[in-house]
Amino acid sequence: MTTSTHQLDLLDNALDSLAEALAKFEEGDAGEPKAYKFAVLHMAHFIELVFKHHIAEKHPLLIYKEPFGQKLDRNKTITLWDAVNFINNEAADTISKEFRADLEWLKRLRNEIEHHRFTMDVPQVRITIGRLFRSVLEFLEDYSDVEIESHIPARTMETFQILSDEYEFRRRDALREADAVEEANPRDYSSGDDEPPVRLDCPNCDNPTLVLNEDSDTGYRCTFCGNEESDDLPATCDICGVQTTIGELDFWETEDGQPEGRCYYCSGRYHADKDD
């Protein structure tokens, strides 16, 4: 009876920390970057307790520093790295080198937060927390019977699902980046000016993430897939100078071998359609 109670308390503690990590991550995403600091601390606590729970399932005393000592000190438990080594000694590379590198990053940042000044690269924090979270879920799916999703509070379920899905997580980041580009380049289309659009739908990944980019050959780049092409990109007829789009131009090769874009009228399509 004591064993089951102990393990339940350990897992409940881990799940509470996960719920807090998700809530703080959500606050950070909503525009409060300081909240990511607490997301880091709670995520670190969650991972450590989940690993200890995994070990306690083998035997509850194994989470203590000297389980075979003459007198058990219940105030001294194993560290995260003791837990990682135990798990990898059970089956080599259960905690992969990449997973361990992320854990070392998390431990270092947590120590800096707890003990002295720290510098937090918010994009890196978001990406690494997402990667760590998915690694832990994969570990639990493969090596335990813990079912996390049923314990997630409804208020943080969306964040849980986004962090769980690498594609959706990357898509969310791409949308945030596209939003930032749009905010930095306001346009007043009501004035009738022929300003190029800041943001378009990307035909390659079907996301509204094709935005202005001065490093791109076309002047645009998708923040999700990196595509730089679209028929909807703004263009100018090389003959009459009318503003149009790439897809509306016909391209001809000039005498010097260069492509020349011609609009509906300058290409002769208008007259051909009229004759028909």
**CA distances (Å), origin 181, targets 19, 210, 211, 224, 229:** 32, 10, 7, 13, 18
Q: Residue 53 is encoded by which pair of tokens?
A: 């729970």
pLDDT of residue 6: 47
State the chain's mean pLDDT as an integer.
89
pLDDT of residue 2: 47
Give every CB contact of residue 189 below 8 A, 6+ residues apart in sequence.
Answer: 195
The answer on pLDDT for 190 being more than 70 is no
Element (H, E) at 116: none
> 175, 6, 182: which is closest to 77 by C-alpha?
6
pLDDT tens-digit readout, 85-125:
999 999 898 999 999 999 999 988 998 888 877 788 888 88
pLDDT over 90 percentage in the chain:
65
Contact 234, 196 (CB under 8 A): yes
Token look-up 């000044």 returns 117
Give every CB contact of residue 3 below 8 A, 6+ residues apart in sequence.
Answer: 60
